[in-house]
Structure 1
């Protein structure tokens, strides 16, 4: 009876140790996989004998923190990429191609023309400066629309990725539930499910909740259900082209809009949230500022016959009527054909007025030394006026100062986005490291454990050999 007990003990020890060695080898193989969690073999004694149970190291709090950090980092990077593209295309006050720099060049050209009003070449240079300024504003407006279109297309890709990941999550979640109900080892299936969640959190901010039986529910960070016993539909209708005033469609999760100002449960993190902020807020704010500059230019250089005012050096249409709204002016502003020598215009109308006919002429005679109108235009540029493109640049200042403030706002916004993106990356790195330290595999520890288990296996094997020898001796004695 004693030998039988020793034999069973030795066999159980060999089985348990071999299973632990196999698990340790499994851990060593997954040491370089960031989505792998360390597996642990536990011995559970019961009425039917000793059972081996494989579990995995986990930390729900650290994992949740990593998911949140992943979402915030992806949001910050998406916003930064768009603002960087916009900043490179438009420039700032130190860039000779920027609207602010072009406005300064125009002001200087008008000063030179006012000092020598009889010099047609100086007048032509001022008109060229005006054309460059209008071109700069149009280019800036086009850049805004291009960034909005790119963000919209990126949202299409993000939504497709989210739906694909939800399908993968459904399969992984059901595998965990089936294995849990059957009493099988589901540690690898749990790793697969967590990998999907990590990828999903980069696209959209999420929260997760575990349920009995291995089930899990997933919702957006604003509370809209993404997965509950099955994946919910995430839909988005792309906008093919953007112009001034175009409003992009909202991303809809299970019938609830989660992006846009009208969303009752708006996303606060994830790449999708960053793209929506870029498309609907940052770019629109800058475009409103560009339109305000264009509107102020048209108003500053207007002509008047004493009763009716019409567009002067700058126009936004062929009629000559002053625009009633600034919406889209940056994309439509142009130099008046009546003063543009490239299309047969007369540059002297810059000095004398009369781009809208003789009744709008300021020079009472044909005096080539007449500089009153040019001096008046320079004075208008230096006069403070009210600008209301929207926060944060609702202010009263000169046109030149407002253009500089607008370029400064863009650069400051890009810089702030860059700082936030770097902070979120650092936070994600710390969260990832903390989770890895808690549930990841340390190769050195696993090697040391394997050596210890091999010694234990050798001891159990020796015990088994001793029992075998003793049984042989007993059988020989009986014979």
Structure 2
């Protein structure tokens, strides 16, 4: 080997070693960076005149397990959806109150019943009669408060949809821009790895909102579509639209056209569901909460309110009433209308005849709401009728089971608790699956031990190439001295 060949080999070796050291350093510094793909340098020998002429860098390879990445992204979608659902249902249960919650609806009804029993033992006591009215007011207030909480959660879910749509549009535009940048960088022969990392992070954002499938193209770009076939990005990204609803009330539903739906490039995805084939991630969970889970909870609450109003306006439970007269509880001052149930729990109110704010007379609880004249102060007959009315199994709303007032409330609270338990169980399973896939993905990424060993080898190779250059320099100096 001539000195020029040796010198050329050493110089190209030093250049290659420097680039390899840079790649290894990048791997080590980004070992915990999301979206980072492990790099390695691909080398080949340079032949000059049939002889070795050094070494060159052919490519910087980026390693990502496409199958594992796809599985992890599907797990991302499931996890974000389940987490949103579980979080919201837990807050719903906290707002409603559990079976042992002193401020819960069941406890409020029990306090009202105890107040009735106390008053029946001393019907002449104005204090005890006033306590009955106060406890009944607490029941009405709790129903109203629960309704406000449910609608507030629906409002929050609607806001989550709007935020998801904004993130989705921004991330799709990022991927489209990065596609163009990667195509240009690859065309110039430079390394696009950093852009590939950025694109992977942008796609990961999308995957949390809707479950997606990444489709690689021959030129290094990618296309995106949902797992159910809705195109998201091909030559250009689609544009999602959603109109946020400023205020949501119990009577506002998707079926009634009062709530926003998703559009793609201006076209409604699905008027019936609002989301169509985009469900499966956090976006689908928000729609399910806004239009199903929380709506069903409100319907159960409205049935409780209807049940209470019906019990206390039944002429069998108060002989002083005639058909159509108001009972102890009203629908904002009106009677029960089974055709207008949505939001009833938020409108329930005390009969003005007994409401303290209207100068009501608590003694009517003892005498009968429409009693023409006061009855005997020691007669507990009517109070006992109210007590019996609470415990009697009734089904005033068609399609509902006959239950006592407390039993209907207990069923509702139990239903909310069961929904919360199911959501948390699903979240636990999904979280465990995601963690397993994530750990596997990280294990397939940068191995610090291997990278440090590679760095030692690079250091040794660098020293050897430097020694060759030093030796050639020494030989040239000796030759010049001859």
Shared fold by TM > 0.5? Answer: yes
Correspondence for 2:457: 452
Correspondence for 1:92: 98
Correspondence for 2:256: none
CA displacement 1:297-352 (0-9 Å, x = unmatched): 00000153786233210011334465543221101111101122442222222222
Correspondence for 2:293: 282
> Please, which of 373, 386, 397 is the counterpart of residue 395 of structure 2?
386
Q: Supply the distance in 2 between the matched residues of 1:395 and 1:461 (Cα, whole angstroms).
A: 89
Correspondence for 2:416: 410
The answer to whether the Cα contact below 8 Å between 2:133 and 2:355 also exists between their aligned partners in 1 is: yes
Correspondence for 2:349: 334
Correspondence for 2:467: 462
Q: Supply the distance in 2 between the matched residues of 1:323 and 1:344 (Cα, whole angstroms).
A: 29
Q: Supply the distance in 1 between the matched residues of 2:417 and 2:269 (Cα, whole angstroms).
A: 28
Shift of 1:51: 4.3
The answer to whether the Cα contact below 8 Å between 1:244 and 1:328 also exists between their aligned partners in 2 is: yes
Q: Where in structure 1 are there 5+ consecutive unaligned residues?
A: none
Alignment of 1:207-246 (within 5 A): 207-246=213-252
Q: Comparing 53-62 with 313-322, which one deviates more in the overlay? A: 313-322
CA 1:258–1:445 in structure 2 vs 1: closer, same or farther (change >3 Å)? Answer: farther
2:371 matched to 1:370? no
**TM-score computed with the length of structure 1 as normaliser:** 0.88
Correspondence for 1:272: 283
Q: Supply the distance in 2 between the matched residues of 1:264 and 1:284 (Cα, whole angstroms).
A: 17
Alignment of 1:37-436 (within 5 A): 37-44=37-44, 50-247=56-253, 248-255=259-266, 257=268, 261-263=272-274, 265-304=276-315, 308-320=323-335, 324-355=339-370, 358=372, 366-386=375-395, 395-436=401-442
CA 1:151–1:218 in structure 2 vs 1: closer, same or farther (change >3 Å)? Answer: same
Q: Supply the distance in 1 between the matched residues of 2:414 and 2:70 (Cα, whole angstroms).
A: 38
Give the length in aligned residue pairs.
467
CA 1:264–1:73 in structure 2 vs 1: closer, same or farther (change >3 Å)? Answer: closer
**TM-score computed with the length of structure 2 as normaliser:** 0.88
Q: Supply the distance in 2 between the matched residues of 1:414 and 1:322 (Cα, whole angstroms).
A: 32
Correspondence for 1:35: 35
The answer to whether the Cα contact below 8 Å between 1:10 and 1:463 also exists between their aligned partners in 2 is: yes
Q: Comparing 368-377 with 177-186, which one deviates more in the overlay? A: 368-377
CA 1:322–1:4 in structure 2 vs 1: closer, same or farther (change >3 Å)? Answer: closer
Q: Supply the distance in 1 between the matched residues of 2:271 and 2:410 (Cα, whole angstroms).
A: 29
The answer to whether the Cα contact below 8 Å between 1:80 and 1:417 also exists between their aligned partners in 2 is: yes
CA 1:12–1:319 in structure 2 vs 1: closer, same or farther (change >3 Å)? Answer: closer
Shift of 1:253: 3.2
